[in-house]
Amino acid sequence: MEWYELFSPDTTAFIYGNQNRAAQRMLDFDYLSGRKTPSVVGFITPTGSGYHTVFWGTKEIRIPRYKSLAEAMRHHSKADVMVNFASERSCAETTYEALETDQIRTICMIAEGVPQRDIRKISAIAKEKGKWIIGPATVGGLKAGSFKIGNAAGTIQNIKDTKLFRPGSVGFVSVSGGLSNEGYNIVSRNTDGIYEGIAVGGDVYPATTLLDHLLRYEANPNIKMMVSLGELGGRAEYDIVEAINDGRLTKPLVMWVTGTVAKMLPSGVQFGHAGAKSDTADTSAEAKNAALKAAGVVVPESFDDYAEKIKNTYDGLVAEGVIVPAQEPDAPHVPMDYATAKAQGLVRKPTSFISTICDEQGDQHTYCGIPIDEVINKDMGLGGVIGLLWFKKEIPDYAARFIELVLQIVADHGPAVSGAHNTIVTARAGKGLIESIISGIVTIGPRFGGAVNGAAEHFTWGMENDMEPQAFVTAMKKKNTNIQGIGHRIHSVEFPDLRVNIMADFAKEHFAKTPTLDYAYAVQGITTRKKNTLILNVDGCIGVCFVDLLLSLGYSRKEIKEMVDMGFFNAFFIIGRTIGFMGHYFDQKRLRTPLYRHPWDDILYDVPDEPEKVE
């Protein structure tokens, strides 16, 4: 591949991080562009291996997950692109690793806020090694009809509308990822379309500049004209002026520097991007637009006539015979995802099974229509019994009430979690109570319920070693170990889990002290900086609160560690969930409907006394 071509129809890439949605968008672009094989060949996820399931057209395929870049490269020796979704804290480190390989040629750094000293060093290493960096603080870019990075260009409908499924004659480069989508739209309506488009990123020092990519376009015989969008702040546009004056750029260039509104605002105002701030007259949008125009660049009077200038330049090149407009192929059809179609009211699907004992669709989880806080307020004595049988002594009232609180919360909260689902399916298959309950219980582990014990172990380990929360998070990351009890699929900092709040409030009000709970919340303060769903979840709150409860009851750290080692904390989850599993079992027996029905039998009917056999 020539140096000026970053991508081709055969380009394959690794995605660093669990970015299933971004991968699906890349594969949809591949399919729309007529590629024969998917462009994403593997995910790099240091915390675990396995597979991600995605679609290739209508066919479901699996893409492997590897724990390291080295392992991924051993299995895919031709992949030369890494789309790096690592956070700003680790993006530089993982990019350095990719730069040191012989295989990876292009790296896209999505995160913003990567330290500037790292970006300068990364840029220098990449230039020395003949490699290309896109970003940071970018959505990436694409080569029309060949390859695209992550979420660049937006939805599949936008890609169709802007004709990005086939190459045109225009090379486009911008600072902003959002404006790159608008640029693709403008170019597609006024030319034969984009050949390649890149957003260099909005940080003060992008690893590659507008000029770096314009020089590639200059060298590429398939690109006949260039279009660009700069912004106020910095001196990148003056480098373009210099390149035009010394003859390195000769192809027609239409360019506009955004931010002319800054003159109406107080000096020093920053516009979104870290680099979009003008402190001197020569870094203003007006000054840079004037310098570009003086150098021979086609510069509109305002953004309003940007499209007109692009069209006039393109039409002139067509008239001169420089551009032969690309033919318009029919856009292939890419199926709509079920979730999207359902949200738009385009499809409906019958339920796989029915549950009448619980409902998690509202603001609060309910049992048989009763909100969980009302269930908790009922006077039950189970906690006292457990105190006698497990602790071998009478425990204080607040301790018994806390145990009852936990059991009520974890008894059940829906039919879709793995344990409940297994119990329902086993019961519907005709098995008895014991088999059905066992099938649910055996799924309890680190990813479902078992995190209660793991959370107690992890957080007490951090405290025993006198680790500050940040040091604890860093240590767990170096061990490639997820912090158990942290993270939720639905709830977040802004949408907290009511159940966690109830338990934490009770503990703070009634326990002598809550050092482990306080430590866990301090760790949450670190983890939620990366993602707002990395909160202390139900399992984690139960684990750390029980450690604090045992301390309040006079147990030593040594005794608590012995309980952790025997899996003591998971017992509360097992008992509570067994209650829920039994409810699901009896519920399915009362329904007495067969597990499967004829696919054409969509007529509602009364349930007979005995289920009819379905052939």
| Catalytic machinery residues | 273
pLDDT value at 356 more than 60: no
Three-class SS of residue 51? Answer: strand
Mean residue pLDDT of the chain comes to 87
Domain boundaries, the chain: 13-319, 448-554
Give dist(CA 124, CA 355) in Å, integer: 60
- Assess if CATH 3.40.50.300 describes domain 448-554: no
Of the candidates 295, 431, 386, which has an alpha carbon nearest to the alpha carbon of residue 576? 386
Average pLDDT over every residue of 187-200: 96
Average pLDDT over every residue of 461-480: 94
Structure confidence by residue, pLDDT tens digits, 489-544: 889 999 999 999 999 999 999 999 999 999 999 999 999 998 999 999 999 999 99
Average pLDDT over every residue of 20-49: 95
pLDDT value at 457 more than 60: yes
Give dist(CA 264, CA 278) in Å, integer: 13
Size of the chain, expressed as the number of residues it contains:
615
Average pLDDT over every residue of 395-417: 87
Strand partners, 109: 84
Residue predicted with more confidence, 498 or 280: 498
Reported as a pLDDT band with limits 50, 70 and 90, residue 381 is: low
pLDDT value at 352 more than 70: no
Average pLDDT over every residue of 230-259: 94
Domain 13-319 and domain 448-554, same fold? Reply is: no
pLDDT value at 607 more than 90: no
pLDDT value at 597 more than 80: no
13-319: CATH number: 3.40.50.261
Positive or negative: CA dihedral 345, 350, 353, 354: positive
Strands 13-16 and 50-56: unpaired
Q: What is the pLDDT of residue 614?
A: 37
Write out the E strands in 154-214.
170-174, 194-199
Give dist(CA 294, CA 313) in Å, integer: 17
Q: What is the pLDDT of residue 279?
A: 56
Contact between 191 and 310 (Cβ < 8 Å): yes
Six token digits for residue 562: 């012995």
